[in-house]
């Protein structure tokens, strides 16, 4: 912003009466590089020096607020949490989560332009964050993206390169693992099973991932409209995709990301899994074994 633009803004906000004089004063008195961007509350009876001091001291960021965003949270969940805490409307947050504003982050800039519903889904790292009540939407979301960027260790990045999958594909896998697994140990086995299905499924007459967690995205099953069929559906027999969906179905935590990169070696020959009502996992190598597991788990 130039001194002329700043003076015009202050004039329209009734802080000053003569914008041309304030602009000249700024040029003589200071450098525009010293001003801070942000939202300011400025009295309308200050002299030029006081106004400049306030603008250079930085905006009033307001009260500090701590919020926990759990692993597996979706963009819809996250947006609603911000609205509930008095920041912005859920719709405003959702709009930014599907924008290209943050493409200057390497990881975000590499996200394919496809039919995914929210561009940032999967990259908003779940954690406990400190925010200021006057933070911009960009400032809020950048905390998540920066955290995602820094949590990917050199070992993880090397593992992704060696896996044959792109980072985005790993994030998609991790999001499904996060939604399907009962615990961290289960994550490693589910990762192995999903990768087996993707890489060798056709050899075993398996043509899709068949994961219930993808059936209603971006909604939870309890909030989806009647008759809703997600474009992320992974049941090929029901018209869904045969490989990975267009994007992540939630924002996975570090354990799920690690599992997606480093699947359990014990799961090398497994192609099926299910859980009973208590979250106990059952794994199978064949369709026949899986049918038996479904009966034991009370799902048949």
Give the pLDDT confidence score for residue 53 in this predicted structure: 84
CA distance 200 to 81: 40
In a domain, 191, yes or no: yes
CATH assignment at residue 114: 3.30.1490
75 and 91 together in one domain: yes
Tokens encoding 246: 């267009």
81 and 204 together in one domain: no
**pLDDT tens track for 178-234:** 999 999 999 999 999 999 999 999 999 999 999 999 999 999 888 999 999 999 999
230 and 281 together in one domain: yes
> For residue 126, what are the domain limits?
64-151
188 and 114 together in one domain: no
In a domain, 287, yes or no: yes
- For the residues 165-190, what does the mean pLDDT come to? 97
Query: % helix / strand / coil in the chain, to the nearest 5?
Result: 50, 5, 45
**pLDDT tens track for 106-147:** 999 999 999 999 999 999 999 999 998 888 899 999 999 999
199 and 283 together in one domain: yes
State how far the alpha carbon of 254 is from the alpha carbons of 40, 153, 180, in Å.
37, 10, 15
Give the pLDDT confidence score for residue 38 in this predicted structure: 75
Q: How many domains is the chain built from?
A: 3
pTM: 0.83
Q: Single out the residue of 165, 179, 189 nearest to residue 271, CA to CA.
A: 189
264 and 141 together in one domain: no
Give the pLDDT confidence score for residue 26 in this predicted structure: 87
**pLDDT tens track for 222-277:** 899 999 999 999 999 999 999 999 999 999 999 999 999 999 999 999 999 999 99
Question: Which DSSP helix (H) or strand (E) runs through 56?
Answer: helix 48-57
Q: Which of 60-74, 88-102, 137-151, 155-169 has the lowest mean pLDDT?
A: 60-74
In a domain, 203, yes or no: yes
Give the pLDDT confidence score for residue 82 in this predicted structure: 97
CA distance 125 to 159: 19
- Percent of the chain with pLDDT strictly greater than 90: 80
Asked if 65 contacts 85 with a C-beta cutoff of 8 angstroms, the reply is: yes
110 and 49 together in one domain: no
In a domain, 103, yes or no: yes
Asked if 173 contacts 260 with a C-beta cutoff of 8 angstroms, the reply is: yes
In a domain, 158, yes or no: no
In a domain, 126, yes or no: yes
Give the pLDDT confidence score for residue 77 in this predicted structure: 97
220 and 283 together in one domain: yes
In a domain, 156, yes or no: no
CA distance 6 to 16: 11
């Amino acid at each position: 912003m130039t001194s002329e633009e700043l003076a015009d803004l202050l004039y329209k906000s009734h802080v000053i009466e003569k914008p041309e004089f304030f602009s000249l004063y700024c040029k003589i008195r200071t450098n525009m590089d010293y001003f801070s961007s942000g939202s300011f509350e400025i009295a309308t009876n200050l002299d030029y020096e006081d106004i400049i001091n306030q603008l250079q001291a930085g905006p009033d960021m307001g009260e500090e607020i701590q919020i926990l965003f759990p692993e597996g949270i979706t963009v819809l969940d996250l947006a609603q949490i911000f609205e509930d805490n008095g920041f912005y409307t859920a719709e405003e947050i959702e709009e930014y989560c599907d924008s290209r504003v943050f493409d200057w982050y390497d990881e975000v800039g590499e996200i394919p332009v496809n039919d995914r519903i929210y561009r940032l889904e999967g990259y908003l790292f779940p954690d406990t964050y400190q925010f200021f009540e006057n933070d911009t939407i960009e400032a809020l979301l950048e905390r998540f993206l920066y955290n995602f960027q820094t949590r990917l260790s050199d070992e993880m990045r090397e593992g992704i390169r060696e896996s044959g999958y792109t980072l985005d594909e790993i994030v998609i896998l991790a999001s499904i693992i996060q939604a399907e697994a009962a615990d961290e140990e289960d994550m490693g086995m589910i990762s192995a099973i999903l990768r087996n299905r993707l890489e060798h499924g056709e050899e075993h007459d398996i043509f899709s991932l068949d994961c219930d967690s993808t059936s209603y995205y971006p909604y939870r099953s309890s909030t989806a409209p009647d008759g809703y069929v997600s474009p992320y559906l992974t049941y090929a027999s029901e018209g869904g995709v045969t490989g990975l969906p267009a994007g992540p179905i939630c924002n996975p935590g570090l354990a799920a990301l690690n599992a997606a990169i480093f699947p359990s070696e014990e799961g090398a020959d497994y192609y099926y899994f299910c859980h009973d009502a208590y979250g106990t996992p059952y794994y199978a190598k064949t369709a026949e074994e899986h049918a038996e597991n479904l009966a034991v788990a009370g799902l048949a």
